[in-house]
Amino acid sequence: MKTKIFFKSLIIISLLFSSIAFALNLDQAKQQGLVGEKDNGYLGVVVASDDVQSLVNDINARRKTVYAKLAQKNGITVQQVEKLAAQKAYNKTSSGHYLWMNGKWIKK
């Protein structure tokens, strides 16, 4: 009985660690076509899943914080920083990655 409980616990623990190991990072998500750059300076979800949405939410929150600091430092609005960031992101986006243009996702 104790060995069954031990093995069940081991399986549960290994599943928890494997989900952490498979967590996405931004580069992987872009390469897999799961996320793309939007024209508002933020990431967007191309292929929906909980992991992808969580990644996008986290990165967009960080971007918003940076944009606010840049806006304050340079005496401009956050919207101006977002627009500049979007232009820069579009220019830096690698071929084959997604961009939001004219209301739809396209590959660069």
Whole-structure pTM value: 0.76
Could you say which DSSP state residue 105 is in?
A: E
**78-92 and 50-74 are packed helices; what angle lies between their axes, rounded to 10 degrees?**
120
Report CA-CA distances (Å) from 32 to 22, 69, 83, 106.
13, 31, 25, 14
Task: State the Cα–Cα distance between residues 45 and 56, nearest whole angstrom.
Answer: 7
- 46-60 confidence digits (pLDDT tens): 999 999 999 999 999
Judged against a pLDDT cut of 50, whether residue 12 lies above it is answered with: no
Judged against a pLDDT cut of 50, whether residue 66 lies above it is answered with: yes
